[in-house]
Structure 1
Amino acid sequence: MADLKMLDASDRELSSPYMMWYRFSRNSSAVIGTLILLSVVIFAVFAPYLTPFPKHVGAVVDFRARHMAPDWIHWFGTDKAGRDIFSRTVFGLRISLLLVIGVLGISVPVGTVLGLIAGYFGGWSERLISGLTNVMLAMPPLVMALAVSNLLEPNLMNAMIAITLLWWTWHARLIYAVSKSIASEDYIEAARLAGAGPIHILFREILPNCIPVLSVKTTLDAAFVILFGATLSFLGFGVKPPIPDLGSMVADGRQFIPDYWWEVLCPGAALLYTTLGFNLLGDGLRDMFDVES
């Protein structure tokens, strides 16, 4: 009887993580998304060693090789300056991932903390944070980002600033809604009566219950950040040339369509490949955590 009780206790402890992993591993789209992102990260991190022409990411000009179609030497062809598009695309993936890390690394913690404060304390803090969030959300994101980028010099840091000024609002609103519903639970009141302080309740009681929805939201947002950054670069307000960026590469190649189609198709396909990986992984995390859509 004692052994059965110990087995049941062990099964209860392992059931939740096991079931989450089972749902994730059985989700083919989640596995494919993980493999896609793993390949993107490997190429981005080891770009100088995995690209045939790493020097082509800089101000290199070879007019004898300009507009060459894809072949065994130049897998994605060459651009108007004779630079290898495959090498520049791989380094462009590195820029996209840096943008995701920079934007979400700031906006997610800021939005999470503000959402926790507004949802738990309520009162004037809730009105202040909710009012600020509503004001920021009322501004068209692209217009706001273009305005900020127009005031600053086009580079990766300023592109991060322009996107981060807007992105924390969605995380703040999400965590506010979740924490406000959790704050009324009995175990929160029990922790308060047991002498737990606000910091303990916010980060040890409420925040762990926000992790599932926060993980799904962050993963899906990574794809939108990449697209948003590519849009800024496409419009000339993102990364400054000759640094390769997928959005600026598409913008440079569009003037040569349809004759030199690979100059747009290949960077665009890399952009689609990366965002697809984040979306598939986000769907897998949603199924693993059993988060409602």
Structure 2
Amino acid sequence: MSATSVSIPEPDAPVILSARRMAWLRFRANPVALIGAFMVITVLLCAAFAPWIAPYPDHAGNVIDFANRHAAPSSEHWAGADKVGRDILSRVIFGFRVSLLLVVGVLGVAVPVGAALGLCAGYFGGRTEFLITGFTNVMLAIPPLIMALAVGSVLSPTLINAMIAIAMLWWTWHARLVYRVAKSVAAEDFVEAARLAGATHWHILTKEILPNCIAVISVKTTLDAAFVILFGATLSFLGLGVRPPTPDLGSMVADGRQFLPEMWWGVLTPALGIFYATLGFNLLGDGLRDMFDVEV
């Protein structure tokens, strides 16, 4: 009789997930992060496609319709109309554009400036660290809202000037955060190995240290987007933001408060717009923080 051979199946090889894949799985398993991402995406879509989404796109401009002045919410005006008859919902949708432009303008300046200063202070140390951290601490002692009010009161109320007013101090938070991470990474063995191998300072800063700061920068930027929207709305509420008739959420709240409590819809809808946008960015930022497992 011939012996029968029995094949024993080999055990399955262990599945090895990359760090990026594991981070994505953590993000996907976080319902709060997914809600935040959905809210941010809806705000972005509203801003991008406002002329096609808004019920009355022409009401984003200088339109007067006294026949519908202070019209209550109805099938014609879902969120009511303002003091000159413009559709409030349409203006809120267009107001998201102003808020997001403010976010892009402020963080587009503050993040690179703060990150560059923080990298230099953490890597070079010595006198460079002393000068940068000292100047950063002095600027941090100035309340951002007070500085924004001061600059906004001197300059004319425009979107560009609002960006300047907010960005003048916003870089400090990113400089301090990146400095803390860069100083820790600069002491690692791989940075010393790159230095001994003859790598330039530029290579070490951009190829060795900066990639280790991307996670905290991403989380901080997302969380800051919510605060920039609030700051911009505050400036507009005080009359130091965007000039009318450009729709801005803060100025819409300021206009509507004059007619409280009877015409409550003039305040409620733009206030809900601010709340929705800021909450979305905060939830998304918390989700990214859990995904990257960093402290900001």
| Structure 2 residue 108 is matched with structure 1 residue 105 | yes
Hey, what's the Cα distance between the residues in 1 that align with 2:176 and 2:151?
23
Q: In the alignment, what sits opposite 1:195? A: 198
Match of 1:122, as an amino acid? Answer: G
Aligned residue for 2:262, secondary structure, equals coil
Matches within 5 A, 1:138-177: 138-177=141-180
Greater C-alpha Rg: 2
Deviation string for 1:195-232 (max 9, x for gaps)?
Answer: 11111110100011111111110000000000000000
Q: Report the TM-score, using the length of structure 2 for normalisation.
A: 0.94
5+ residue gaps, structure 2:
1-9
Q: Deviations over 1:233-284 (max 9, x none)?
A: 0000000111110000000001111101110000000110001110110011
Q: Percent identity?
A: 66
SS, match of residue 244 in structure 2 = coil
Please state whether the residue corresponding to 1:39 is helix, strand or coil.
helix
Q: In the alignment, what sits opposite 1:278?
A: 281
The answer to whether the aligner puts 1:250 opposite 2:253 as a matched pair is yes
CA distance in structure 1 between the partners assigned to 2:143 and 2:42 by the alignment: 34
Aligned length: 286
Matched AA of 1:198: H
The answer for the alignment partner of 1:135 in structure 2 is 138
Partner of 2:233: 230
Matches within 5 A, 1:6-21: 11-12=15-16, 14-21=17-24
Displaced runs of 4 or more, over 2 A: none
- The match for 1:123 is 126
Q: Tell me which moved more, 54-63 or 96-105.
A: 54-63
Corresponding residue number in structure 2 for 1:46:
49
Query: In structure 2, what residue type is equivalent to 1:109?
Result: P
Q: Aligned ranges for residues 76-115 of structure 1 at < 5 Å?
A: 76-115=79-118
Per the alignment, residue 4 of structure 2 pairs with: none
Q: CA RMSD, aligned part only?
A: 1.4
Q: Distance in 1 between matches of 2:295 and 2:150?
A: 36
Distance in 2 (alpha carbons) for counterparts of 1:41 and 1:111: 25
| Cα deviation code 1:97-135 (max 9, x no counterpart) | 000011001110110000000000011111111111111
Match of 2:76 among 51, 60, 73: 73
Deviation per CA, 1:83-107, whole angstroms, max 9, x where unpaired? 0000100000010000001100111
Please give the alpha-carbon distance, in whole angstroms, between the structure 2 residues aligned to 1:124 and 1:113. 16
CA distance in 1, matches of 2:138, 2:236: 26
* In structure 2, C-alpha distance between the alignment counterparts of 1:15 and 1:244, rounded to whole Å: 45
Distance apart, 1:15 and its partner CA = 2.9
Instruction: Select the structure that is richer in helix.
Output: 1
Distance between the aligned counterparts of 2:105 and 2:18, measured in 1?
Answer: 36
